[in-house]
Amino acid sequence: MKALLNNDVQRVVFIILLVLSNSCLVLSQKINFTEHIAPIIHQNCSPCHRKGESAPFSLLTYGDVVKRAQFILKVTEMRYMPPWKADHGFGEFKNVRRLTVGQIATIKVWIQDGMPEGPKEKFQLPIFEENSQLNKKPDLVLSWNKKFTLSSQNKEDYILFSLPTNLKEDTFIKSIEFRAGNKKYVHHARLSVDTTQLMRQTDAKSIDDPSIADFAKVRMKEEFWVGWVPGNTPIEYPKGTAKFLKAGSDLLLNVHYAPNNLENEQDSSVVNLYFAKDTIEKKIQTFILHEEDITNKPFEIAPDTVITFFAKSQKIPYPIHLLSVQPHLHLLGKSLRCFAITPNGEMIPLIKISKWDFNWQMTYQYKEPLLIPAESVIYAEATYDNTSKNPENRFNPPQKITYGWNSTQEMMNVIFQYTF
């Protein structure tokens, strides 16, 4: 017994020594940009921090990073960058944008050490496809016929664009990417499919335009595809799955423009479609939990209150596989949690966002298609803060807030993509 114990102690001491010697090895070689920092930046920052993408400056070269080193240290330590709002440990996601503790520490030590560049000749610029977050050439690029001139009347504007695909055959779509043209004023966009071609008459018209009063009727039939807000990057559907697009369909884009009072402010946004190259066995479906599903109606937020709404789905009639989740609240949103309860009473975590941030609303893709057994119920809880303590509250004093598309009104949507 004693011998065994001694052996174990020896083993532990040996392992500790091994770990220590390894870390000394790392420490004795100074952290440098080319070998240690560039890979972290190129993988986690450059996809957005490069020309033509959403971020305001590039982070690619040694010069780019040195220039903003202190700022980078701050935003990575705070975990403000890379943007990722889903709480760690509640739902498992594929497209996680999160630096490890080790990566953050590496950046810190490198800056404290005076930011050595390292072997210059080993530096390689990452290769990115221009005009695509997916880093791939789209198979079909759709845009407006001519640039759209925004209203200068300082009001929120919702404009419908009809984009004929002119596809001669039914097509399976692997990824859908909306790319805002005028990044300053394109606030968000909603993309759906119009198989009737009726909406061509709505092209570039405001949803308030009396000539498209039938819109609401047609909308009942159109199929919601994706919602885009800044920071949202497209997902690729897993092998064997894709969105189905009927031949001859039009895409219908509802673009929300933020108020502006400038003459001649223009936009020409783009939709990239990527076709499926694999054999498709399952079509992607969409399911939305929304305001009508709340159990504590009405969906109204009294001034000076903090309130949580509880939404509940019907029993899911058959097993489904969830692929992604995209919560959508507006400015008063504070937090959100979503889960499923199976018929055995087991809880399946779907997503939790403890610090809701209106500016970063993403489509979170599950690591593996997530099985939700038949007869399960999906729940969502969202908390809103309509007090003057909420810095995002645009009304002072606070006012009663009800449902609406404007960002100063409120919404509660949780959008799921799934297959059977």
Q: Which stretch binds ligand HEC (CB under 6 A): 26-34, 50-58, 147-155, 256-264?
A: 50-58
Q: Which alpha helices (H) appear in 158-312, and where do they start and end?
A: 215-221
Nearest to 236 by CA among 270, 272, 268, 205: 272
Least distance between ligand HEC and beta carbon 231 (Å): 5
Contact (CB, 8 A) for 63 and 33: no
Contact (CB, 8 A) for 383 and 136: no
How many CB atoms are located within 10 Å of the residue 289 CB? 21
Q: Is 179 in the site for ligand HEC (CB under 6 A)?
A: no
Candidate residues 60, 82, 379, 414; the one interacting with ligand HEC per rule CB under 6 A: 82
Q: Is 180 in the site for ligand HEC (CB under 6 A)?
A: no
CA dihedral 215, 208, 408, 360 (to 10 degrees): 50
Q: Is 56 in the site for ligand HEC (CB under 6 A)?
A: yes
Lookup result for tokens 């091994």: 18
Q: Which stretch binds ligand HEC (CB under 6 A): 47-55, 138-146, 314-322, 363-371?
A: 47-55
Angle at 313 between CA 310 and CA 315, to 5 degrees: 140
> By rule CB under 6 A, what count of residues binds ligand HEC?
19
Candidate residues 31, 36, 38, 83; the one interacting with ligand HEC per rule CB under 6 A: 83
Cα Rg, the chain, nearest whole Å: 25
Which lies closer to ligand HEC via its Cβ, residue 48 or residue 311?
48
Which lies closer to ligand HEC via its Cβ, residue 53 or residue 410?
53
What's the rounded Cα separation, in Å, for the pair 413 and 289? 6
Length of the chain: 420
Least distance between ligand HEC and beta carbon 241 (Å): 24
- Binding string to ligand HEC for residues 279 to 318, with x set by CB under 6 A, is what? ----------------------------------------
What's the rounded Cα separation, in Å, for the pair 124 and 376? 50
Q: Is 109 in the site for ligand HEC (CB under 6 A)?
A: no
What's the rounded Cα separation, in Å, for the pair 351 and 338? 5
Q: Is 417 in the site for ligand HEC (CB under 6 A)?
A: no
Which lies closer to ligand HEC via its Cβ, residue 87 or residue 357?
357
Which lies closer to ligand HEC via its Cβ, residue 44 or residue 175?
44
Candidate residues 36, 50, 85, 97; the one interacting with ligand HEC per rule CB under 6 A: 97
Nearest to 250 by CA among 161, 142, 139, 164: 164
Q: Is 81 in the site for ligand HEC (CB under 6 A)?
A: yes
Q: Is 365 in the site for ligand HEC (CB under 6 A)?
A: no
Q: Is 49 in the site for ligand HEC (CB under 6 A)?
A: yes
Q: Is 132 in the site for ligand HEC (CB under 6 A)?
A: no
Which lies closer to ligand HEC via its Cβ, residue 71 or residue 395?
71
User: 233 CB contacts (<8 Å, ≥6 apart)?
Assistant: 47, 95, 133, 134, 362, 363
Candidate residues 34, 54, 285, 342; the one interacting with ligand HEC per rule CB under 6 A: 54
Candidate residues 30, 68, 108, 312; the one interacting with ligand HEC per rule CB under 6 A: 68
How many CB atoms are located within 10 Å of the residue 322 CB? 21
Q: Is 75 in the site for ligand HEC (CB under 6 A)?
A: yes
What's the rounded Cα separation, in Å, for the pair 416 and 335? 18
Q: Is 45 in the site for ligand HEC (CB under 6 A)?
A: yes
Nearest to 161 by CA among 106, 227, 126, 205: 205
Q: Is 47 in the site for ligand HEC (CB under 6 A)?
A: yes
Q: Which stretch binds ligand HEC (CB under 6 A): 72-80, 215-223, 346-354, 387-395?
A: 72-80
Q: Is 76 in the site for ligand HEC (CB under 6 A)?
A: yes
DSSP string, 139-198: SEEEE-SSPEEPP-SSS-EEEEEEEE---SS-EEEEEEEEE-SSTTTEEEEEEEEESS-G
Contact residues: ligand HEC, CB under 6 A: 44-45, 47-49, 54-56, 68, 71-72, 75-76, 81-83, 97, 99, 231
